[in-house]
Chain A
Amino acid sequence: MDNLSRKEFLKTLGLTGAGITLATPLSRALAANGKSSVLRDKWWVKEVDKPTVDVDWQQVERFKEWQTTRRSYGEYVGEEKLEEWGETRAENVLKFEKEGKPGYTTKDMALGAAVNSARLGLSFEPAEDASTPEERGVPRYEGTPEENAQVLRAAMRHMGAATVGFLQRDDKINKLLYKEDPDQKPIVFEDTDVGYETDEKRALPNKAEWVIVYTIQMSQETMTRCPTELGSQTTGLTYTRFTHIQYMLQQFIRSLGYNCYGEASINALGIAPALGVMSGLGELSRLQRLVTPEYGPMVRVFKAVTDLPLAPTKPIDFGCMDFCKDCMKCATLCPSGALSTEREPYWETKGPWNSPGHKAWFEDSVRCRNYWAEVGTNCGICFAVCPYSKSDEASMHEIVKATAANTSAFNDFFIKMDDLVYANQKSPEEWWQLDLPELGIDTTREHG
């Protein structure tokens, strides 16, 4: 240390240490500063005027939700098969539990029973519990659409939503709202002040011009235990959380002095991936679900309609659809062969369960449901194996996603690396030994 003064030594030491220590938080703070759109600090996500999925709006018609295999499986395979499906599913689950099959043991079943029993009832009609500004003797909340969007986003994050986008209803967006809900009740648009529900219909007022689209994060670590009863608690818990978030959202908007129309049941009101794409929460993918830049497909998408004016958010492009053309992991690992292995998306639907009018990798949904009967629960392998589903602790994921957003030249390499180092499915028994964060998700992800 003869030739190096103490001052120089400390200077070098301090600069190096401070540089490395502050680099990440500082870059995040600088990137997040002043932004109020859906996304916080992802320079590689571009806002675009048209979504990356080709849509022929002339062909798009309002879809009846009950045409999906969620509701009409019996119609597509026959009532006999439906009955058989129900019996097989129940028998298999019981058999697996008795055998102590990992993921179906009594503790797994107990977790499922607990999580699913905590759901609240859902309501299309605006809430009536929270006090309104009028009842409190104060004027209702007023703000610009941008301010309202920011306030709503902050409130929804507090309630447990992950990302939040907004749409203004027009002829196109109205086509993405279901013509008929899962219970076959029509959703109609009316010139009325407040929407309502009768035995015949759900009336959505035309003055309720804004659609709130939001995601709720799912546990990637739990999803890699699918298809098992344990793995199904990834979606199970998310749906339970959704019922609580929608309840709070409707009360919040009522207490601001406005109305909020929710989903009358799970998967109601509108086409979730389509609304997610249009509001810039993510892109459509090969697995026919929304893939977000933040959490990949590890989200569920929900929606509500309100008369609180909100600044719309634009669709995004982060190279996902292009990546899906090269990557067929979800399709090749789908045990039922329900997902498409065609390189390019196509206009032709696979059955009446698909909503036509856009270019996609339409899936054979009946095959998917048949497999659910075999395993006695829902699946989710396509979600778990998607390269975008990785967590963000290792910086490599961000580098890969940023690269894929700008060039497809390295897609094959990234897919091979993903195959090489990541387990597609993990041991359900091991899950019980993990020290996972609350709800199995890292709620600090993507927020500095």
Chain B
Amino acid sequence: MFVFWLLIGIVIGVCCSLLMNYVRKNNLAVKWYDRLLVVIGIIMLVLGIQNLRGSLAEYEPKAGIFSLFMMGIPAVIVIGVAFYLVYSRNRSADRKESIST
């Protein structure tokens, strides 16, 4: 169990590091609520994984799959919204920059 959550933590840590690096490298404009949405999404995703794993341990696979979808789909949507907000903000900034030049 400990190793499982350690691995999950490492995977999330690596993904977050790569993401932060990408943001810095490309000078993307990121607002505080973009970060908040990603954090909420990660929490929901971890909760979904925990409930899937827990329900399987309880011999309740249907409940586990249901929990994963109940929390995993909103998690993906929330993270997707954050990504889209950053993308659209930076795309419009690029356009303005290209028009002015």
Contact = CB atoms under 8 A, between A and B. Distances in A.
Do chains A and B interact in one complex? yes
Interface of A: 1-4, 8-9, 12-21, 24, 221, 390-391, 393-396, 420-423, 426, 434
A3 B25 CA distance: 6
B2 to A, nearest CB: 7
A421 B63 contact: yes
B12 A221 contact: no
A395 B54 CA distance: 7
Given A4-B24, A395-B50, A395-B51, A21 B6 contact: yes
A395 B18 CA distance: 29
A138 to B, nearest CB: 44
Nearest to B55: A394
Given A393-B55, A394-B54, A421-B62, A13 B24 contact: no
A395 B5 contact: no
Given A3-B21, A16-B16, A396 B51 contact: yes
B91 to A, nearest CB: 21
The 9 residue pairs across chains A and B that have the minimum distance between CB atoms: A394-B54, A17-B9, A393-B54, A16-B13, A13-B13, A20-B9, A4-B21, A421-B63, A393-B57
B63 A422 contact: yes
Contact of A422 (B14, B18, B21, B60): B60
Contact of B12 (A1, A20, A423): A20
B5 A21 contact: yes
Interface of B: 2, 5-6, 8-10, 12-14, 16-18, 20-21, 24-25, 46-47, 50-51, 53-55, 57-60, 62-64, 66-67
A20 B46 contact: yes
Contact of A16 (B2, B9, B62): B9
Nearest to A16: B13
Contacts of A13: 10, 13-14, 17
B9 A18 contact: yes
A195 B53 CA distance: 52
Contacts of A2: 21, 25
A394 B61 CA distance: 11
A8 B19 CA distance: 13
A20 B9 CA distance: 6
B58 A16 contact: no
8 contacts: A12-B20, A15-B13, A16-B16, A17-B12, A393-B53, A394-B51, A396-B54, A422-B62
A12 B17 CA distance: 6
